[in-house]
Amino acid sequence: LDSIENYQGIFHTLNETANVFDLTINGYIRGGGYVGSLAGRNLGRISNITNYASITSESDVSGGNDTGGIVGFNSGILTNVMNYGSVISNSSYIGGIAGQSIGEINGAYNRANVTGFGNVGGIVGMNSGNITNAYNIGTITATDSVAGGITGTTNANIYYSFNSGDVVATLSVAGGITG
C-alpha cells in the first residue's frame, strides 16, 4: 500500500466485533496518519499476528500521528503480536506495535527499529492501556523528544516487560522502559 491518505493497512478500521488472528504480513505500507500493517485503527480483537512489512507515515496538514507496526491506534485487545518491520515517521505517537493505545496489550514483541518525531516507543508511542509481557530489542529514536523502550509516554501499567534496544531522544527525555 502506498498512499498519502490516513487509515492505511490491510483494514481501515476493525470494529468492536472484529476478531483477526493467525496472519503474517509482508510488504510495504505508507500513509498519512493512523497507519499499521494490519489496520489503521483497531477496536476489536487481534491475535497471533506477525508483521515483516516496513511502515512509513508522513505528516502533512492533516497530520501523520498514530503509526505502528501492527495498528496505528488501538482501543481493543492485542494478543501475541510481533513486529519485524521498520516503522518510520516524521510525526508523533509512533510505536513498534501501536502508535497509540487505550486498549489492552498482552504479549507484544518488537524486533525492529522505530523512528518518529516525539512520543516514540518500542511497543506503543502514547499509551493509556495496560501492557503485559512485552519486549523490545529494536533501536527507538525520537528525532525531537520523548522515547522509551516499551512506551514513549504511559498513563497505565506495564507488567513483566523488558527492553534491550538502544533508546535515543535527540532533545530530551529517553528511558529504557518509558520516556
The model's pLDDT over 98-144, given as tens digits with 9 standing for 90+, comes to 999 999 999 999 999 999 999 999 999 999 999 999 999 999 999 99
Global pTM reads 0.97
Q: Name the band, by pLDDT with cuts 50, 70 and 90, for residue 36.
A: very high
| Chain segment 4-16, per-residue pLDDT in tens | 889 999 999 999 9
Cell of 170: 535527540
Q: How far apart are CA 76 and CA 80, in angstroms?
A: 14
Q: How far apart are CA 123 and CA 96, in angstroms?
A: 5
